[in-house]
Structure formats: C-alpha cells, structure tokens
Amino acid sequence: MEMEVRRITNIAEVLKCLPFEREIRKKGRDNSRESQLLLFVESQLNNPYFAFFIAYDRENIVGYCVAFVSIIQGIGNRIHISRWYAKKREVFEALERSVREWIRPYNVKIAQITAVNHIKAIQRRYKFNPVSICLERRI
C-alpha cells in the first residue's frame, strides 16, 4: 500500500472524513453530534497543540487521527487522542509515526484515549492500559 499521512488545516479536507464518522455513530461508538465535532475541529485547525491527520492511499482516505496536547505543570505533557480511525494495522502505525513526530517538541510522555466500547481490544491491540474511571453527568 502506497500511503501518505498529512496534517490537515483545511476544513474542506476534514469534511471528507464524515462518511467514517457516520459509520462510527451507526455502530454506536459515539453519540455526539457531527455538527459539534466539526465546529470544534474547525476552531482548532490552526492551534499548534491540536492536530488532524489523514492517511491517504493514493487519494483515498484510509484513516485519520484527531488529537491535542495538554501541558499541565506538575502533571506532565500528555496527548489526548479524540479519534483514531484505521481499519488496517499499517494505517494505524503510519498515523502513529506522524503523531509521534508532531508531539516530539512538546516532550510528551503519555498518550490518553477515551473509550466507550471494546476496551479489552484497545488494550490488547494498541497497548493502552486503564488508569482511571471517567464519570460524567448531564448538567
């Protein structure tokens, strides 16, 4: 597979990922509104602590990753992965290489991801470990 990963700063390119987002929602893996996600992404595209990467096989999208860096004194620098969509292992690995290159100047040592389903699979496949429980409520 001839693959290229690009960091995206153009909302028109981000919109090309909507069919994948719809698939994610159809499978029950996210219940947020697409419009909220798009507004957030558009507001952050030029933020150096935010990144939207898309993996292309020629010009076809085969995966993407949405992440942001948080720098909190005393806790350490972390990357929070909001979305990681890659059906094939090599796509995941290519996105991960791009993310690691992007976060290098920020001295990030910890990657975090929030999962609702398939937690054991994420642990096994991507080597994430549970460290806390995230609780929420409507206000």
Domain 3-113 has CATH 3.40.630.30: yes
pLDDT, one tens digit per residue, over 55-79 is 999 889 999 999 999 988 777 789 9
Asked if the model's pLDDT at residue 44 lies above 90, the reply is yes
| Secondary structure (DSSP) of 63-76 | EEEEEEEEEETTTE
Q: Measured in whole angstroms, how far is the alpha carbon of residue 26 from the centre of its chain?
A: 18
pLDDT at residue number 26:
87
pTM of the predicted protein model: 0.86
| Secondary structure (DSSP) of 8-71 | ---HHHHHTTHHHHHHHHHTTS--S-HHHHHHHHHHHTT-TTEEEEEEEETTEEEEEEEEEEEE
Q: Where are the domains of the chain?
A: 3-113
Closest CA to 51 of 31, 29, 70, 32: 70
